[in-house]
Amino acid sequence: MGYLYVLAAACLWGLLGVVSKAAFEQGVSPLEVAFWRAALGAVLFGAQAFLIQKMLVLRKDLLPVAGFGLVGISLFYGAYQLAIQSGGAALASVLLYTAPAIVALLSWLFLREPMNAFKLGAVALTLLGVAAVSMQGGGVDITLPAIFWGLVSALTYATYYLFGKLYLHKYTTPTVFLYALPVGALGLLPFVDFAPKTAEAWGAIAFLTVVSTFVAVTLYFAGLRRLEATRASVVATLEPVVAAFAAWLWWGERFSLLGYLGAGLVLAGVLVMVLRPQPRVASNR
């Protein structure tokens, strides 16, 4: 069942781009989509935190959680929506999956984690993949804003790994999101121009909030309780595949051969990162 939960979460995340584009078509700006995803998501995760009676965060952890709200919610949600608008759902999803390579670099720089051959290989594959994707033609609109916002979304998404390593052993996901999502919504608010919305626009926003955020996160962590984190990460790499297929089916987005090769290199970098041999930890027993 663990594999099915993570697989379902990856598929739901893979629909973020195509459904976001549906909201854009109805006149809703990318940053407004990001705002509603954060604001309405806060209500759902807040209700879940209340139901499981996990609502409190230590005072000394409030500032880091708020910082995560600004970087991991405001910047990440906003940058990802702008990446979708600038270059399409498929490209945004592929660039998002450069995050593990970014995590390796940031962990080496700030957490003093060793940089071994596997990590270097993963970073190299990822950089080659991004270069190939950025040079390809095809039906995907490759622009500097698309590459920029895609990489910003990956950089900010990388904070999920680093923040999770430091804090998610102390708090449940609903508890963290209860605080981080409202902060993220407030961080986006000054940049949002609210537009009149059709029923279709509200439907797209509701889908993104309920299905591709709340349900997807809940399923993923249900899977994590039944699987090793590495196995879950491998299954989750299906997300850009789903995103690319859905974008082709719904919006006619397609890469050239070079673009698909680059996307494959990015995913190969992810697999090298998550499947690398783990160092043995000496037992204290």
Listing DSSP states for 23-91 in one string gives HHHTT--HHHHHHHHHHHHHHHHHHHHHHTT-----HHHHHHHHHHIIIIIIIHHHHHHHHHHHH-HHH
Who's near 176: CB < 8 A, 6+ residues apart?
Answer: 57, 65, 68, 167, 168
The secondary structure of residue 283, as a DSSP letter, is P
Tens of pLDDT, residue by residue over 218-269, are 898 888 777 766 566 667 778 888 888 898 899 888 888 888 888 888 888 8
195 in any annotated domain: yes
pLDDT for 158: 84
284 in any annotated domain: no
The secondary structure of residue 213, as a DSSP letter, is I
Confidence (pTM) = 0.87
Question: In total, how many domains does the chain have?
Answer: 1
100 in any annotated domain: yes
Distances from the Cα of 67 to the Cα of 45, 64, 163, 222, angstroms: 18, 5, 10, 26
Helices 30-51, 76-87: inter-axial angle, 10-degree rounding? 140
**Domain of 171, in residue numbers:** 2-275
> How far is it, in rounded angstroms, from Cα 264 to Cα 215?
28
pLDDT for 284: 40
264 in any annotated domain: yes
pLDDT for 117: 83
281 in any annotated domain: no
The mean of the pLDDT values for the chain is 86
pLDDT for 277: 67
pLDDT for 281: 39
280 in any annotated domain: no
282 in any annotated domain: no
252 in any annotated domain: yes
**Ranges under pLDDT 50 in the chain:** 280-285
